[in-house]
A and B are shown apart, each in its own frame.
Chain A
Amino acid sequence: MAGKTLYDKVWDAHVVRSEEDGTALLYIDRHLIHEVTSPQAFEGLRLAGRQPWRVGSILGVADHNVPTTDRASGIADPVSRTQVDTLDANCTAFGITEFRMNDLRQGIVHVIGPEQGATLPGMTVVCGDSHTATHGAFGALAFGIGTSEVEHVMATQCLVQKKSKNMRVTVKGHVGPGVEGKDIVLAIIGELGTAGGTGYTIEFAGEAIADLSMEGRMTVCNMAIEAGARAGMVAVDQTTIDYVKNRPYGPTAAQWEAAVASWQDLHSDEDAVFDKEIVIDAATIKPQVTWGTSPEMVVPVDAVVPDPAAESDSVKASGMEKALAYMGISAGMPITDIAIDKVFIGSCTNSRIEDLRSAAAVIKGRRKADSVSVAMVVPGSGLVKQQAEKEGLDKIFTDAGFEWREPGCSMCLAMNADRLEPGERCASTSNRNFEGRQGQGGRTHLVSPAMAAAAAIAGHFVDARAF
């Protein structure tokens, strides 16, 4: 019998029961909740007179609606405030641990889970948010769910699931200097397409993935959903174990050795069979920039904007034309000729300490271009912010004319006050370049933190490796 993939192993360990048709009841170890996708689930619990199955499995935080400027005066937008207040009230009523807006530990749900050790290797982790895939960096099975499933997990600690197929994306060899996790995953999405991973769990493997820090691996897994895969995973190694050690919600000292011993098996067996395998040569990956309105519309920084006329698939070609019209650029234009208005460094993809260090290294001693109206840095959590300030990164940013903000989702999706105005163009370290994502009519180009920093200095896209 063939060996098991990492996904097979974590899946099998969580099956409570399975039906003949393969439908399984899957046990959920960790449930992260935030203010946007939970209120209707709590309402459902109340209407049915149900209690959460295991309150200790749930960790709540408000991240999407929180302001990133002055928090002393609370949330100005009454609709946003109601949503955050509702989360606070629900967590209090049901006895759920929540990091409130002014708690130092508050931050983006996908940053704080790992930071607190609430995400551990081999766990099943869910959240009403598609970027839950992030936590797969720990050899966990982590995926986004809808609000009905949020309610289901709260009520039963389980989900009714069908197993996905197995895909492995191997990034062979090593990337060059200045090429980051973000560039790797954008290059993968460019290759796979935005629906290439639909129906699969993707395991990211190869030297270039093993070389990454946990922060880099989280960036890669975070965007598995942008290739259509609900979950991305990376095998556990010493880097994983070192990161997890001594986190507040991790194993106690007495449990540590047994936990580490059990994690040694969290990798695909050598004879495991994948339904689909993709191999990418790391040495060919350059810094990436998206040009369109889907993350698959991506090219290296030294390329030109692609021509829809060269696309043989008519549905695809018309999609490209719509994207070019929306983005206000034309085919054949060099990427480095695209001038930007704003810069956003943040989001669950790229707001961790390593991301901020990378951007700061580019910026140090320079100033943002005058043509860039706003360049903002939004740390992923209060603890990331504190660490960055300890290292003096905030000073590097503010000296360069950047704004140093409070933690939250911010302009990744513009549910709070941070947004693009119609027609504005942004170099963004977030995960989605959909129409209107960062504000109605706004134009988003996805890049790595170093590339966003370099664009802020130059006023247009430029190869960050030249800095």
Chain B
Amino acid sequence: MQKFEVETGLVAPMDRPNVDTDAIIPKQYLKSIKRAGFGPNLFDDWRYLDPGAPDADNSQRRINPDFVLNQPRYAGATILLARENFGCGSSREHAVWALTDYGFRAVIAPAFADIFYNNSFKNGFLPIALKEEEVDALFKACFANEGYSLTIDLAAQTVSTPDGEAYHFDIDPFRKHCLLNGLDDIELTLQHRAEIENYEARRRQEAPWLFGGA
């Protein structure tokens, strides 16, 4: 997994609540059996004026000039600014894959849906929850200043603005450790192999019906 340490980058504002994973990556692109290549279809329904298909050449499609990510001032953004309940809905990890494939490294919002939040950490992508008024201030600053960028320091757990303000964010210590070091958590779990086997052996005795093979 890609490490996350410090990220300084341009901010793109997604100013609507409850952005769901269907909006982040529509269902037709979920037919891929790969992890890569979802970036061109990130926010597909909002980003293009004509319908897309998994095998379509996206460069031939009509761009929606009103959509925020299509505005030249946000080209190359690596930090997404969002509203409450970002990533709600379907469990599709493709939503995170689409965001990272597009080039985003982090998303800042007042709150995230649980499954999306969880999926993010498995992909070196950092979801940061700040207070609603802090997010609001960032939106205002982002709209007001072209080229607005932020610096995220995971070790220090801060989001720093160009004028020197630093917002603190909370993160689970285990997740922080994995992200800072780019650790694969399957390998970490398998270090406890003996404990898993012991648990399993005990449960087979106690509740054998749980082991009825499918």
B185 / chain A contacts, CB cutoff of 8 Å:
152, 160
> A146 and B200: CB pair below 8 A?
no
B35 at the interface (CB under 8 A from A): yes
Given A146-B122, A155-B190: A251 in contact with B115 (beta carbons within 8 A): no
Across-interface contacts of B172 in A (CB, < 8 A): 21, 23, 162
* CB neighbors of A among B91-112 (8 A): 91-94, 96, 111-112
CB pair A130 B192 closer than 8 Å: no
Report how far A37 CA is from B207 CA in the complex, Å: 30
Total inter-chain residue pairs, C-beta < 8 Å:
208
B209 adjacent to A250 (CB under 8 Å): yes
Closest residue of chain B to A148 (Cβ to Cβ) is B122
Cβ-defined contact, B55 with A120, below 8 A: no
The residues of B that contact A43 with a CB separation of less than 8 Å are: 33-35
**Interchain nearest-CB distance for B202 vs A (Å):** 10
Interface 1/0s, chain B 25-62, versus A by CB < 8 A? 01110111111000000000100000100110000000
Task: Choose the segment among B13-21, B140-148, B149-157, B159-167 that binds chain A (4+ C-beta atoms closer than 8 Å).
Answer: B13-21
A387 within 8 A of B: no
Question: Given the known A-B contacts A80-B31, A82-B33, A414-B27, are A145 and B196 also in contact in the complex, defined by CB atoms under 8 Å?
Answer: no
Query: Would you call A97 and B213 a contact (CB within 8 A)?
Result: yes
A25 touches B18 (CB 8 A): no
A122: chain B residues within 8 A (beta carbon): 207, 210
Chain B nearest Cβ from A294, distance in angstroms: 5
Q: How far is the CA of A322 from the CA of B55 in the complex (A)?
A: 30
Neighbour of B208 across the interface among A40, A164, A228, A255, CB < 8 A: A255
A228 vs B115: C-alpha distance in the bound complex, in angstroms? 9
Closest Cβ of chain A: how far from B162's Cβ, in Å? Answer: 24
Q: A158-B189, A160-B174, A194-B18 are in contact. Are A146 and B115 (CB under 8 A)?
A: yes
In the complex, the answer to whether A315 meets B84 with C-beta atoms within 8 Å is: yes
Pick from B28, B85, B174: contact of A195, CB below 8 A.
Answer: B85
Is A336 positioned at the interface, with any CB of B under 8 Å from its CB? no
Q: Is the CB of B34 within 8 A of A434?
A: no
A237 at interface by CB-CB < 8 Å: no
Cα of A287 to Cα of B16 in the assembled complex, Å: 29
Known A48-B186, A145-B91, A146-B93; judge A157-B45 contact (CB<8 A).
no
Point out the residues of chain A lying under 8 angstroms from B22, CB to CB: 413, 432, 434-437
Could you say which residues of chain A place their CB within 8 Å of the CB of B17?
Answer: 315-316, 319
Interface string of A270-303 (1 = CB under 8 A from B): 0000000000000000000000001000000000
A129 lies within 8 A of chain B by Cβ: yes
From A78, which residue of chain B is reached at the shortest CB distance? B55
Contact A434 B20 (CB under 8 A): yes
**Is B203 in contact with chain A by the CB < 8 A criterion?**
yes
**A146/B31 in contact, CB under 8 A:** no
The smallest beta-carbon distance between B111 and chain A, in angstroms, is 6
Q: Which residues of B contact A116 (CB under 8 A)?
A: 214
Closest to B122 in A: A148
Of the candidates B45, B190, B203, B213, the one whose C-beta lies within 8 Å of that of A436 is: B45
CB distance B91 to A79 under 8 Å? no
Q: Which of A148, A158, A432 contacts B123 (CB 8 A)?
A: A148
Q: List A contacts of B89 (CB < 8 A).
A: 130, 225, 432, 434
What residues of A have a CB within 8 angstroms of the CB of B93 in the complex? 37, 40, 128, 146-148
Task: Check: B78 CB closer than 8 A to any chain A CB.
Answer: no
- The verdict on B130 contacting chain A, using a C-beta distance below 8 Å, is no
- Complexed CA–CA distance, A65 and B27 (Å): 10
Given contacts A97-B214, A130-B115, A251-B212, A319 and B207 within 8 Å (CB-CB): no
Residues of B within 8 A of A434 (CB): 20, 22-23, 89
B133 within 8 A of A: no
Q: Report A-chain residues with C-beta under 8 Å of the C-beta of B174.
A: 19, 21, 23, 160
CB closest chain-A residue, reference B54:
A79
A58 touches B33 (CB 8 A): no
Closest beta carbon of chain A to B36's beta carbon, Å: 10
- The verdict on A230 contacting B92 (CB below 8 Å), with A48-B186, A156-B186, A315-B17 known, is no
Offer 22 A-B interface pairs, CB within 8 angstroms, sorted by A: A27-B200, A30-B214, A43-B33, A43-B34, A56-B214, A79-B55, A97-B214, A128-B93, A145-B118, A146-B119, A160-B185, A195-B84, A252-B212, A255-B208, A259-B207, A318-B15, A319-B17, A319-B18, A415-B28, A435-B45, A440-B45, A440-B51
12 new A-B contacts, CB < 8 A, other than A36-B92, A147-B35, A415-B28, are: A43-B33, A55-B213, A65-B31, A128-B91, A148-B93, A148-B122, A158-B196, A198-B112, A294-B20, A319-B16, A319-B17, A432-B89
Chain A interfacial positions (CB closer than 8 Å to B): 16-17, 19, 21, 23, 25, 27, 29-30, 36-37, 39-40, 43, 48, 50, 53-59, 64-65, 77, 79-80, 82-83, 86, 97, 116-118, 120, 122-123, 128-130, 132, 143-149, 151-152, 155-158, 160, 162, 164, 194-195, 198-199, 225, 228, 230, 249-252, 255, 258-259, 262, 294, 315-316, 318-319, 322, 413-415, 432, 434-437, 440
The 10 closest A-B pairs by CB, nearest first: A56-B213, A148-B122, A251-B209, A146-B93, A146-B119, A39-B33, A59-B214, A144-B91, A195-B85, A130-B91
